[in-house]
Amino acid sequence: MLRVLIAGGATGIGAATARAFRARGDAVLIADRNEAGLAALRAEGGPGRLETVTADLSDAAAPRAVVDTAARLFGGLDVVFANAGVLLARRLADWTPQDFDLTLAVNLRAPFLLAQAAAPHLARSGRGRIIVTSSTGGLRGHAGMPAYHASKAGLLNLVRALADELGPDGTTVNAVAPGWIETPFNDAFWQHQADPEAARHDLEASIPLRRQGVPEDVAGAVLFLAGPEAAYVTGQTIVVDGGYSAV
Ligand SMILES: NC(=O)c1ccc[n+]([C@@H]2O[C@H](COP(=O)([O-])OP(=O)(O)OC[C@H]3O[C@@H](n4cnc5c(N)ncnc54)[C@H](O)[C@@H]3O)[C@@H](O)[C@H]2O)c1
């Protein structure tokens, strides 16, 4: 039985990952700002224990608080999945320092602070795992979203640096990089398309597997990285994108 903290898991990839851990009997604490989403998840059954805590991970104090909560509830911690993310899109001239800082605070600083706070607990576990959600957006860049792309690229090297530092404790640190996954995250993007159906069709035609991913596709990679099969994998990024970035 694993003791798992998911930071950003009220909906989408984090929620699917929580369900997948619970289905195996693992204990999960989800920290998220979306209270309604957390309440909906609490209403679901599952063999594994589910706890939730409302937290705004853009607050620099929140990561340590949620790590402490998980360790207290479960008597320790084996896995941290740093998955919360925000995507702001603006023309370059319209960006404010606050917009940029918010993106970096949630997408890059929170995973770092979660890792920092969790490291001693994971060392005691002896088989600790830190998994962060980057993006294929960390491998490329698009107009209008410089902070998102910078933050997701930053995670690729954050996991390398942390893998080096925490490896002697037996803790692995890896990233998953989803491509296009059907979650509420992309709602604003689709709503901004002149013809959303045509845009969706064109996108899916450009993906080798001819569909967008579902959250469960990413949960599979997270469970792999959390499991004993990945004991010798660290500092790496697994791309889960149906081949989108391969062509
Ligand atoms: N959906 C995609 O196509 C896609 C692609 C690549 C990467 N990602 C990444 O996957 C991760 C999960 O996104 P998703 O697609 O499941 O979307 P989602 O919107 O369902 O999940 C994001 C979660 O993060 C939480 N969150 C955001 N800001 C927060 C904050 N300040 N404090 C606490 N919680 C906060 C949200 O409430 C939500 O539960 C994100 O990091 C995103 O960048 C998504």
Residue 193 forms part of a structural domain: no
pTM above 0.85, yes or no: yes
Residue 189 forms part of a structural domain: no
Ligand 1: list residues with CB < 6 Å.
Answer: 8, 10-14, 32-34, 37, 55-58, 83-86, 106, 133, 135, 178, 180-181, 183-186
Q: What confidence tens digit (pLDDT) does each residue in 50-95 have?
A: 999 999 999 999 999 999 999 999 999 999 999 999 999 999 999 9
Domain hosting 172: range is 3-182+214-241
Q: What confidence tens digit (pLDDT) does each residue in 161-206 have?
A: 999 999 999 999 999 999 999 999 998 888 888 999 999 999 999 9
Give the CB-side neighbour count of residue 95, counting CA atoms within 13 A: 18
Q: What is the CATH number for 131?
A: 3.40.50.720
pLDDT of residue 190: 87
Taking the CA of residue 133 as reference, the ligand 1 atom at the shortest distance is 41
Domains in the chain, number: 1
Task: Show the DSSP H helices in 107-233 as ranges.
Answer: 110-125, 146-166, 187-191, 196-205, 215-226
CA of 185 relative to ligand 1 center, distance in Å: 6
Q: Measured at the alpha carbon of residue 219, what is the angle toward residues 171 and 145, in degrees to the nearest 5? A: 90
Active centre residues (catalytic): 148
Residue 226 forms part of a structural domain: yes
Residue 35 pLDDT class (50, 70, 90 cuts): very high
Question: In 10 A of CB 138, how many CB atoms?
Answer: 23
Residue 10 forms part of a structural domain: yes
Pocket test residue of 6, 136, 183 for ligand 1, highest count of atoms within 8 A of CB: 183
Residue 15 forms part of a structural domain: yes
Residue 188 forms part of a structural domain: no
Q: What confidence tens digit (pLDDT) does each residue in 95-128 have?
A: 999 999 999 999 999 999 999 999 999 999 999 9
Residue 198 forms part of a structural domain: no
